[in-house]
Structure 1
């Protein structure tokens, strides 16, 4: 049996897929080239024990990488079909019918290496309603939902859940050590969140409390916005396969935002604390647990985190 995609095509697509987001830039994925296609697997050695003990965030990250791999193959004119969560594999890609890439696929593909998490101050400028609709549609195209948080009471409620969850996490010495290992102690040439990408240290006056990656401290907050644009992303289910699908939806939303010229910050602290996650679900009146809190807006391009070489993430 002949291989599915040419190996050079596979390696080029993986070269794009590694630019997917992951918690603390831990990159918890492996890619396996088979006679049937490509398997995307969780790398158990890169699952964060303190803030991701059940591997949920790693599965979301692998879903984001799988979507990026799909997009790269589509842009090359060799799109993939996929299945999720079978035989211990996060996602399995098999060849679809060869066709030309669509303009939308090419636009999103151009954003793969431009997209980055922005941990710096956002401008106090509104986002156009058409952009909100496009972001919600991007989530829906991957079987997810994106609910924007409207109204001062709900926004403050989400902010309190973020702050409370961050405080609870930061009281755990194992969490603090893990965060330090992936920021101050990481090999920033290939992984972790280096100082140039960390943003300022969180300030008590900022509404949305960011994770502390060791950035510089300031006497006053540099992000005084009182009405940031916040949304919560989720899917219609709570199982491991749903978490992989959530990663696909997340990455499509992030690339759509980049295509629209929007900056994005991610807040996963309330997803990592079960009580806060349930509180967020109730606040949104959703039947399923949320998967990520996102902030959209306008901010200058800051600094990109680095990625491991393709050879390090491909199984021999």
Structure 2
């Protein structure tokens, strides 16, 4: 007999949300909420959690896309796989993705691998060592982005890295001249025990002028002598073919698959969104890559000298909404 789909339950959502909240978000703002709607699970953008910056909508949709990917992987391992509908047809502006039950099946080996990597993944803003990332691992990272509808360009060689770093640093300087931007960084600085934002320990070392790529100034520690950042990091740019709202949610899913693939390979990653936040820098970056698509994130990838410190998260129970009915138009999604 062919297995039939059944509605998601509160237990399904509760178990999957524990992993969904481990997704990355700008300033660890965690701009997501989850809830049952009929037989589906919705990922909702919480506008009250977004940093007060011009690129807040982009940042929120990418973050919610990453959370939707974690939900999808967790549900698959629970034996409750999902199809993800991005920007559902009912156009509730708060709903960025809807997970619809698929036919029950055992989780694949790839899904189990990604699932195991979710608790291990976190941004590492400390220096990496100079060990080269092998070619086969680089191919896995590119394939991870492609599997989710994105692309990943790896920037290799000192000249190429320096050219990209110039774009990132120029964008960072533009942002630093903005008093509102400085205010947002200060607002999201947190104590070690805080459940959101970025603590000084998680921030790594305070930025210095000789750094190739500019870390955000979240009050990081003064670095000891000999602890400069690697002079020629492996840098990657993640992008999508276009840049509609739905593309940004897709970018979040691709982002998370790349990050989990990197974590499974023992790699450390830190992200730089400054050139995405500044429109002129984003266009300059696209032109430099020779891409018709749109950059969505810049990464620094390598092998960590030290494990780094994960930022804490709010409890999953605090971001789960009460169930609601499917609504008149949601059947159109299926």
Whole-angstrom CA distance in 2 between matches of 1:244 and 1:139: 13
Aligned to 2:117: 111
Partner secondary structure for residue 253 of structure 1: helix
What is the alpha-carbon distance in structure 2 between the residues aligned to residue 109 and residue 281 of structure 1?
32
Which residue matches 1:284?
Answer: 289
Is the counterpart of residue 253 in structure 1 residue 253 in structure 2?
Answer: no
Change (3 A) 1:261 1:68: same
User: Is this contact kept in 2: 1:21–1:61, CA < 8 A?
Assistant: yes
Alignment of 1:45 onto 2:48: yes
Report the Cα distance in structure 1 between the residues aligned to 2:321 and 2:137, rounded to whole angstroms. 39
* Alignment match, 2:178: 172
Among 8, 16, 20, the alignment partner of 1:17 is 20
**2:85 paired with 1:83:** yes
Q: How far 1:223 moved relative to its partner? A: 2.9
Partner of 2:108: 102
Offset of residue 222 of structure 1: 2.0
Distance in 1 between the 2:98 and 2:193 partners? 30
- Deviation per residue, 1:273-297 (Å, 9 max, x gap): 1111111000001112200001110
Question: Is the CA contact 1:198–1:215 (under 8 Å) kept in the aligned structure 2?
Answer: yes
- What is the alpha-carbon root mean square deviation over aligned residues? 1.6
Equivalent-residue separation in structure 2 for 1:78 and 1:99 (angstroms): 7
With the length of structure 2 as denominator, give the TM-score of the two structures.
0.90
Segments of structure 1 that go 5 or more residues without pairing to the other structure are none
1:196-230 CA-partner distances (Å, limit 9, x unpaired): 10100011111111111101234767234222101
Could you tell me whether the CA contact under 8 Å between 1:203 and 1:218 is conserved in 2?
no
Is the 1:25–1:305 contact (alpha carbons within 8 Å) kept by the matching residues of 2? yes
Gaps of 5+ in 2: 323-334
**1:268/1:220 Cα in 2 relative to 1: closer, same or farther (>3 Å)?**
farther
Residue number in structure 2 paired with 1:193? 198
What residue number does 2:157 align with? 151
Task: Give runs of ≥4 in structure 1 deviating > 3 Å.
Answer: 218-221
Q: 2:235 aligns with which of 225, 230, 236?
A: 230
Which deviates more, 118-127 or 81-90?
A: 81-90
Q: Quick one: distance in 1 between partners of 2:129 and 2:68? A: 32
Query: In the comparison of the two structures, how many residue pairs are matched?
Result: 313
- Structure-2 residue corresponding to 1:35: 38
Kept after mapping to 2: 8 A contact 1:154/1:283? no
Deviation at 1:187, TM superposition (A): 8.3
SS in 2 for 1:222: coil
TM-score (norm 1): 0.95
The alignment partner of 2:259 has SS state of: helix
Give the structure 2 partner of residue 311 of structure 1. 317
Inter-partner Cα distance in structure 2 for 1:50 and 1:224: 28
Shift of the 157–256 alpha-carbon distance from structure 1 to 2, 3 Å rule, reads same
2:241 and 2:39 map into 1 onto residues whose CA distance is: 29
2:326 paired residue number: none
Q: CA deviation at 1:189?
A: 2.5
Which deviates more from structure 2 when the two are superposed, residues 148-157 or residues 126-135?
148-157
Provide the C-alpha distance between the structure 2 equivalents of 1:22 and 1:82, rounded to a whole number of angstroms: 20
Q: Distance in 1 between matches of 2:116 and 2:80?
A: 17
The answer to whether the 8 A contact 1:13-1:73 is kept is yes
Question: Residues 241 and 124 of structure 1: is their aligned pair in 2 closer, same or farther, counting only changes over 3 Å?
Answer: same
User: 187-196 or 59-68: which moved more?
Assistant: 187-196
